[in-house]
Amino acid sequence: MPRQVARYLLHPALASTTKATGPIEAGLSMMHARGQVMKKQVYIALAASVLGGILSQLIASSVAFAQAQPSVQKEIRAQNFVLTDDAGNTVGVFSTVIQRVTGKRAIVLFDQTGKQIWSAGDSPLRQLSQR
């Protein structure tokens, strides 16, 4: 008996070739068989986790990344911009006018009544009655 136990401890493959003659040898061979099954289960679990990780990256990669941004217009052209409130009422108009004195265009902002309340590029010699 001690010789077979020593044989198993030195090389488990040798223990499986010998016949189990007593309870110790039978217990050792059963432990060896269980160890082999557990090894297989660990390898299967490891392979499944690696495969699952790879598949999740392949499936989720298209969803996880930001979508392509729409092209941004570099320029907007209009003759007037009408500013409205939440109800859709006109609050002001951003436009251009031709100056009377110089004949050049100026940028102006009109209120809801049509009165000019701001301007840029306007002549400094504008009449006081127009202010």
33, 32, 35, 40: which is closest to 8 by C-alpha?
32
**pLDDT single digits (tens) 21-59:** 667 777 777 777 777 878 888 888 888 888 888 887 777
Contact, 111 vs 117, CB < 8 A? yes
**pLDDT single digits (tens) 49-94:** 888 888 877 776 655 556 677 777 788 889 999 999 999 999 999 9
Contact, 96 vs 105, CB < 8 A? yes
105 has pLDDT over 70: yes
